[in-house]
Structure 1
């Protein structure tokens, strides 16, 4: 099987990856507010439907919709895998988030880019240099320090909180499978065309479980957060898909690993400005040190040169 090869425009791939990090970093906060007024299935359906419409309109105006010939040549099984696993990722993450909090959700979802990076090394024959392996070690140590207290909580707490954490772990696993399938689909279509098809399939999958009428009962804040979540899906996943076109999956995953830093900073700022929205997380000295190691380790893996 012919495997997808990156374009080599690593600076563009890095910029797109950083945009994805920023948007995914603040997304859990918006989702947590939205879940106060909507069920997870309706939120997920709305995000996919809004994304499908916006991407479809964009491609139609630029006359870049996929042709019938390209659609016929698509590996339908691979498209199905990418769509179903992304759908599972969305709903499992949202269900897990409803039982836990944004910070801990981002702790566990970091399994996703790690697994995707390892999959990129195995499937797409990507290679790490010695410097990149050192960076991966720093990244691992950084996460161990940064999330020390949160991980202790996850191991000792019982009930719904632990159940939600388990759902997010599964969400991370299925996301990694989706990411690798998405990269291979770029062999036949552009990233925007691939995402259009995936969004449409996922919107259809969730339609039977959604309750659109409940959107009318949202408060202005909750409705704004819902719209933001939809726009976030389009821009963040569009940037992520395009980054895979220009950069190796292992390096993209390394940059995505810094997302919890953005989440925790965002949680702190929102809790400070709007204390009724969300609970603030307190960082210790080890947490700050871990954060620095995560950033340095991620950048080392991402920017390490090949021999």
Structure 2
């Protein structure tokens, strides 16, 4: 490996780690934002803020956006709808069931994407993917059983699982749009257009913040989420550009471990705001099986 290749690998690895860290702690900031704002408003500010940062950082994309939108009209609309539903349902799932349930359940998305690739795009599955998918499914069953076993929380946890499952399927739909349309116009331009469309789609139903809400930690959390979303998607693009996609996918699916570790540290410190229901022994076993299984299911031949 040459010095330039080594530097590129190190840089790509750092970008990958940045995505893992940012996505891992985002559920905690969403929980803070939910103190003052509803899920629609949080989602809109997050999407609109990320779009504005894209507009400033990649102003050259604006000239190509109208033509690309008209050329792929229905595909862009569907991608924007999937993106809006994904962001909204994930925040709503955190509101109902907490960060840990949402962080694990959203990993249904990569499994759904692998299934879509196999059925509709005729992608070949290697043995490790098949084994990983079965391990992930078994892990989800164990994890969900542990979360639904508490009588008081069962209804909320079940509702959260359903909502975040919708988010996961929507994420898979957005990724299909990335595969089909992004291959033609580029992922950056597609993100630029879909984030704008998602922001316009959500705008009529948001609750406008009151003046005093702008000086709260909740609004600060929303600002952070906008910046974090922009940086994470940029870092993800850099990681994919410099590293094999299979390696990036493998490590990205492990980001819920960051969420779980952060929540558990807070619980040990006596802070149960973020997650009043800690993981049980079977919850740990199920989450580890699910995440490692999903990581295996996303591996591809180089």
- Short-chain TM bin: 0.7 to 0.9
Equivalent residue number for residue 231 of structure 1:
227
- The whole-number CA distance in structure 2 between the counterparts of 1:14 and 1:147 is 32
By how many angstroms is 1:298 displaced? 4.2
Equivalent residue number for residue 200 of structure 2:
204
Kindly indicate whether the alpha-carbon contact (under 8 Å) linking 1:108 and 1:165 is maintained by their aligned counterparts in 2: yes
- 1:204–1:25 CA distance, 2 compared to 1 (3 A): same
- The whole-number CA distance in structure 2 between the counterparts of 1:142 and 1:12 is 33
Structure-1-length-normalised TM-score = 0.79
Equivalent residue number for residue 55 of structure 1:
54
Equivalent residue number for residue 263 of structure 2:
267
Aligned residues: 295
Kindly indicate whether the alpha-carbon contact (under 8 Å) linking 1:48 and 1:203 is maintained by their aligned counterparts in 2: yes
Q: Where in structure 1 are there 5+ consecutive unaligned residues?
A: 1-8
Instruction: Pick the aligned partner of 1:113 from 82, 95, 110.
Output: 110
Instruction: Pick the aligned partner of 1:170 from 161, 166, 180.
Output: 166
Specify the SS of the correspondent of 2:58: helix
Specify the SS of the correspondent of 1:211: coil
Equivalent residue number for residue 22 of structure 2:
23
Is it true that 1:103 corresponds to 2:100 in the alignment?
A: yes
What is the CA RMSD across the aligned residues, in angstroms?
3.5
1:37-63 residue CA offsets vs partner (Å, 9 max, x unmatched): 112222111111111110111112xx4
Deviates more, 1:295-304 or 1:29-38: 295-304
Q: Where in structure 2 are there 5+ consecutive unaligned residues?
A: 1-7
Deviates more, 1:277-286 or 1:128-137: 277-286
Kindly indicate whether the alpha-carbon contact (under 8 Å) linking 1:114 and 1:253 is maintained by their aligned counterparts in 2: no
